[in-house]
Amino acid sequence: MKRRSTYRVCNGELSFWSHESETCGLPMNFSVFMPPARGPVLYWLSGLTCTDENFMVKAAPFRKAAELGLALVACDTSPRDTGIQGEDREWDLGSGAGFYVDATQQPWAPFYQMYSYVVDELPKVVESNFDVVKGVRGISGHSMGGHGALVIGLRNPNLYRSLSAFSPISAPSKCPWGEKAFGAYLGDDRSNWRAYDAHCLIGESDWDRPILVDQGLNDTFLHEQLMPEQLVSAAERAGKNLDLRYHEGYGHSYYFVQTFIEEHLAFHAGFLIR
């Protein structure tokens, strides 16, 4: 691993790293906040166009995380500089837009394996190199990252103890962002998309704990791209404990995330810290 930078913050340490990823076949970046005392890890997945820095720079999570004793880990949102022609051409496909799926289609498949990277490789790297409580994990995220967090949590209830999201893409199989990305990464057979669609998975998952989701009502992507009502309906049919909170006046930005991040951290701590 290569340390990119380190900062002292709220009596803890924030550091930025790169490492050679076996899963993605090239270097990947991630960031870690270590609280003053050893603790479990909350993994954060960011949204379209973001890197491993956005959450750490914009969400202001450190004071509360340090108080609670939570380590925070954020990864990049896609592989970078793969050599794929046109990977940087569009903001919602390719670089910065990995959608936390394991691509099966060319030219993406050799590198865009973000689901396996987040679920399998990144926790091994973190738990091997940082003094965290091993095997005790929560997951959260924003927008595309909220979609990723919901999918990963619902598919792996044995690996994560807590799950939340901000403004998630709740039904990617039905929205323009998801249709574009899934078609490119997973192919035209929509039956293969279900494995990465939270509103499809929530009724099939063994997840048996509360799920916290916050959504701003002034979010410009609310109706066309995010579709939280699809997640709510599916959760109600399945009898899942989904607490989806709507907030007047809030949009899609990290100002919204920053407003409610401490409540999410406390929510996760309730499951991760015994």
**From 21, 31, 143, 205, the catalytic residue:** 143
The whole-angstrom separation of Cα 199 and Cα 179 is 14
> Are the C-beta atoms of residues 83 and 112 closer than 8 Å to each other?
no
> Are the C-beta atoms of residues 102 and 114 closer than 8 Å to each other?
yes
**From 102, 197, 214, 219, the catalytic residue:** 219
- Which residue has tokens 């865009």? 112
163-199 b/e (C-beta count within 10 Å ≥ 16 → b): bbbbbbbbbbbbbebbebbbebbbeeeeeebeebbbb
Amino acid at 62: F
The whole-angstrom separation of Cα 58 and Cα 45 is 14
Give, as one character, the DSSP assignment of residue 97: B
Q: Examine the residue annotation and report whether 252 is marked as an active-site residue of this protein.
A: yes
- Name which of 26, 92, 36, 90 is nearest 65 in CA terms: 36
Q: Examine the residue annotation and report whether 206 is marked as an active-site residue of this protein.
A: no
Q: Examine the residue annotation and report whether 142 is marked as an active-site residue of this protein.
A: no
Give, as one character, the DSSP assignment of residue 22: T
The whole-angstrom separation of Cα 37 and Cα 71 is 9
Residue 257, both tokens = 């995330």
> Are the C-beta atoms of residues 119 and 152 closer than 8 Å to each other?
yes
> Are the C-beta atoms of residues 137 and 43 closer than 8 Å to each other?
yes
Q: What is the dihedral of CA 117, 123, 126, 127, to 10 degrees?
A: -150
**From 142, 199, 252, 268, the catalytic residue:** 252
Query: Which are the catalytic amino acids?
Result: 143, 219, 252
